Structure 1
Amino acid sequence: MIRIVIDSGIDQNDFMKETYDYDFLPLSIIIDGQDYLDQVDISLEEIHAHMEKGLLPKTAQVSPKTIIEAFNKARDLGEDIIYLTIYSQFSGTFQVAQAVAKEYGEKFPDMNIAVIDSKGGSGGGALLALQAMEMVKRDEDFDTIVEQTKWNAEHIQYHFTLNNLEWLVKGGRLPKAAGTAGDMLNIKPYLSVNETGIYLKKLVRGQERIYKRMIKEMTEGVGSFTDQLITISHVNDYGAALKLEAMVKAALPEATVQIFDIGAVLAAHLGIGGVGVFYFDQKPEHYVYIDE
């Protein structure tokens, strides 16, 4: 049997939690100098409450001890492990997990362990996790799931925006003066993910325009793969997620949509009101259609 493991960089929703058997490894959230394990010591709602007060949470990677405990649990159950991590550009978790897996594998060579960089996370990471867990349910072999998941990570597209520029300023991605002027002019950032991490594609005036641009690029980006599952993730702005869901369904009637809360780690980077759309730019060879 194969166990899928994810961490705080991969978004979850009720459907995922109720449908699949997987493990979650928490990153640490640091608020006012106090460390909390994500979803263990502090809830997403509590983190949002701190952020609404203007506090900028910091994050720390998954500890080696936590990773080893997950590996031990799987070994005791006779399971192999595929661990999907937050993007290596956002956290050192991938590198730590790789080192732990190498040492652990040398000690227990009969156990298959793969650590896969999600190359993003959030709703894109959710797409990775859902496909990997469905392949496990279909009894695909270990190597097939690993290779397909690595391919999938290279073919997920990320489009997201923020309600305002405040958190880009807080995170040092935008000068304060530019942020203030941009908010006065109702300028919205259009963000994506590449080999360097989150980057600013452009600034667009008005929320409606940026949503339309996101949907336009998504419609072009899916190519002929129009009946896929598309994920939408948001930071404490369910209304924005519902609006984007309606726009996705109008543009791609054959597609299905799932909505997720953006996990605490990426929420700390994006800020309250962040919302994004995630999809495959090609159909994977072992794609599984998911019935909700």
Structure 2
Amino acid sequence: MSAIRTVTGDIPAERFGVCDAHDHLFFGSPRLPGQELRSVPAARAELVAFAALGGKSVVQWTPYGLGRRAAELPPLSRETGVHVVAATGLHQAVHYDDRTLCELRGKLADVFVAELTEGIGTSGVRAGLIKVAGGFHSLDAHARWTMTAAAEAHRATGAPIAVHLELGTGALDVLDLLCGELGVPPHRVILGHLNRSPDLTVHRQAAESGSYLAFDGPSRANHATDWRMPDAVRALADAGHGSQLLLGGDTTTAAARSVDGGPGMPYLLRRVRPRLTAELGPELVGRILTDNPGRALAVEWPDPVGR
């Protein structure tokens, strides 16, 4: 039976509820010094605020080596009543030092599979998806390496692959590689950050492949795309792709948390949901927040040896 792999165990999709399909409770990168998401009380406060607005689940896209704090996730989930999905995978090379990348050479797919089926480190928490990343309008050697490993791990487990698109670009190149060359079924691919590049033609072409499209995160000053998102979502829904759309918050810095004055996790339900509902109607928005994430993340997980 297909199930969503959360940090407290596998659950059926119908229990997943209203979902923030891309966010971070914990995250740390040398590219963002001093802005790490490390505070457990702050993470708990974000989940509580999200739950108060009807949120039931959060998908943390934090991959290997970027401060996932996997052991903290189950108690946070139980305390707040919010389902949490953890990620394995690897981000862009700039987020890691050379030693870490060298240690992973030749065994990256094995690491992904182990974290999906056995657990992350000694935490025992199993990941529920694989997160990788492309570059700005390109796929460099690092991206091809990580996506090849992700495809191998997908074949071993069925896990979905979530892709950070740099500033929303490169979606078609990612699909050519993952689904064309590497044979990953398009419905197992989630393309992130499409709101940052509001190219409706590319959106439609990506949707026609059968992949999921995520509009995740409030607009930043250099993006200025929030006002275009309802039109992009409407165009995709009108073209018959409403069942492939996801929404998320993508909180990546401490300053962006609602407890520190930023939009944080509550923004998705406090501001994005009513805005989209006013323009697109409650039925479509409800499906995007509830039904679509359940389908995107539900997998026929294999039984690990010895379990």
- Decide which structure has the larger Cα Rg and report it: 1
TM-score relative to the length of structure 2: 0.35
Pick the structure with more strand per residue: 1
TM-score relative to the length of structure 1: 0.36
